[in-house]
Structure 1
Amino acid sequence: MDHLVDQACSYSNVEHTKKDLQNRFDSIRRDELQTSDANYVISYLTVKAVMDPEFFFDYTLDEDDRFGSLFWADSTSRSDYGYFGDVLAFIATYKTNVYQRPLVMLIGVNHHNSTAIFGFGLLGDETIETYTWLLRTFLVSMHGKMPQSVVTDGDRAMHKAIKIVMPESVRRLCCWHLERSVQTNIQDGNFTRAFCSCMLNFMTAEEFDLRWINMVDNFGLNNNEWVYGMYSKRKQWAETFLRDNFFGGM
């Protein structure tokens, strides 16, 4: 940067800052890293598949033949899914890794009430098409066994992909994500507690509607779009409407 400034006689004549220069170098290095690391990962997983005949992986390439999305599951994961795959849940870390890609863990719970990991997906993006590819590839690795129920967050692309690939599975919105969503959208601790009571306690449909109406009236949220939207989705999160389905305690 100092050399460029000396040549141009001033910082203003260079037309970019030192930070711009660093960002450009980082971008070039990241592109090179992704290409070399992708080749390394595919080689590594290929060797794993030779050592473990039940190891499964698949990946996609984009229109420029660059690395797209990756799914993998080892023999333990595939065996666990055969026993405990009645309930499937997703945990996604959104672009917290060096590659700025979503990492999705497909998990369940075993007979000791411990987490069972069924597979991993490192995705190129968060579109319906990519999530659909992930779920279809997952089912191929698990010999087509469909889960009875699926627990997921409110991601619309994932939700639509589940509806396409696993139409018979009961879909349930994650209680933890919903509680955080209530806090974000309404920002009232008393309403959050009242909402969670509606969500987690079993009651008849008539009792649920009555409690919901009273809650919304008490907090003056009759015209709130988020509240209205959540009521329209009540059969995906309220224990009243989901009690007869198996979720393995998740």
Structure 2
Amino acid sequence: MRLLRTEDDGWYVSIFSNEHNHPLSESREETRQWHSHSEIDPFLKDFVNNLRENNMSLNKVYNILNVTHGECTGAPFRKENLRYLCSRLAQDSISEDMRKTARLLDDMKAADPYLSVRVATDDEGSPKFILWCTGKNRQDYVYFGDVVTFDTTYRTNLYNMPFGIFVGVNNHYQSTIFGGVLMREETIVGFEWAFKNFVEVMNGKHPVTMLTDQCKSMEGAIKSTLPHTRHRWCKWHVLKCAKEHLGYAYSKKSGFKYEFHKIIDEIIDVSEFEESWSKLLDKYNLSQNKYLNALYSNREKWAKPYFSSVFCAGMTSTQRSESAITS
């Protein structure tokens, strides 16, 4: 069919053919390219939604649909159609999850009048950060909040949002949770918001010591929001990163691992540490190693001699935060 304009800005059919003038699409691969084949029936939508709720990736979902429709023909629609459907399902799920979160916090507030919740939203009104501390968290912090470990290793599976948790120990050396925070970004601004609001909820009490991993954003946020708090690196992360950066020395140079761990675990005198560190680098020809030089420049955050007068409540690692999440 061909349409042309009339002089009075109307339309008229100039050519019309009542017979097909192009080859028909014969294969499934051809027909599913047409917009008429882009619709996904309600049964398949429910099936896809169930797969996505069980954290199936888009590629895996599409492969499953191809198998269920037969290896020769495959799914009757394109992958782009499935991607669009999944994005719509995700938006619906986010809206519903946020409503559930709001209801859950309201229920918690009703049961615990001392619960404190802080929320920061973006320009569209969606939550960027959510921090909460229960009445018991706040009470425990009064007595045991001098030393806090903070870790964001855990991420929720669906939204990939880092979950940070503030943890300490009580007088029986048992792990004690002080609060939790969901974050959409691990930036200096994000951590500044988390630390600032955490301290405000805790009536302005700053930790004496705070243990984290070697995250630069956390370090910057601690400097700006907790200037009187002593920042310490988690020893476990230091050893883990050292093994990753010094794999050759760990595995091939006999004695290096033993001497390196001895410096970290046993030496408590500053001058002895400095001398032993220098001898270790000279002995194993590692004086120009960039990682060890960077580690040495930050020795006040992890080396024992520099914490002899700093209260750490016997903690050297953030693994209490990690274990508190999974327990």
- TM-score w.r.t. structure 2 length? 0.69
Spell out structure 1 runs of 4+ moving beyond 6 A: none
* 8 Å CA contact 1:179, 1:192 repeated in 2: no
Q: Go from structure 1 to structure 2 and tell me whether the alpha carbon gap of 1:207 and 1:99 turns closer, same or farther (over 3 Å shift).
A: same
Mapped partners of 1:134, 1:148: distance in 2 = 17
* 8 Å CA contact 2:33, 2:78 repeated in 1: no
Count of paired positions:
242
Q: Mapping of 1:1-40 within 5 angstroms?
A: 5-8=30-33, 19-40=79-100
1:159 is aligned with what amino acid?
A: E
Give 1:45's aligned residue. Answer: 105
Q: Which runs of no fewer than 5 residues in structure 2 stay unpaired?
A: 1-26, 35-76, 316-327
Mapped partners of 1:67, 1:80: distance in 2 = 27
Q: Which runs of no fewer than 5 residues in structure 1 stay unpaired?
A: 10-16
* 8 Å CA contact 1:69, 1:124 repeated in 2: yes
Give 2:207's aligned residue. Answer: 147
How many angstroms does 1:3 deviate by? Answer: 6.9
Mapped partners of 2:239, 2:85: distance in 1 = 41
Residue 174 (1) aligns with residue 223 (2)? no
How many angstroms does 1:19 deviate by? Answer: 4.9
How many angstroms does 1:74 deviate by? Answer: 0.8
Residue 213 (1) aligns with residue 278 (2)? yes
Mapped partners of 1:135, 1:97: distance in 2 = 24
Mapped partners of 1:52, 1:145: distance in 2 = 22
* 8 Å CA contact 2:32, 2:78 repeated in 1: no
What does the per-residue CA deviation read over 1:82-117, in whole Å, with 9 as the maximum and x for residues that have no partner?
110010101222435211010111000111111000
1:244 is aligned with what amino acid?
A: S
How many percent of aligned residue pairs carry the same amino acid?
28
- TM-score w.r.t. structure 1 length? 0.90
Give 2:179's aligned residue. Answer: 119
Mapped partners of 1:198, 1:36: distance in 2 = 53
How many angstroms does 1:206 deviate by? Answer: 1.8
Give 2:259's aligned residue. Answer: 194
* Stretch deviating more after TM superposition (240-249 or 32-41): 32-41
2:147 is aligned with what amino acid?
A: V
Give 2:288's aligned residue. Answer: 223
> What is the CA RMSD across the aligned residues, in angstroms?
2.0
What does the per-residue CA deviation read over 1:154-187, in whole Å, with 9 as the maximum and x for residues that have no partner?
0110111111111111111000111101011111
Mapped partners of 2:217, 2:138: distance in 1 = 25
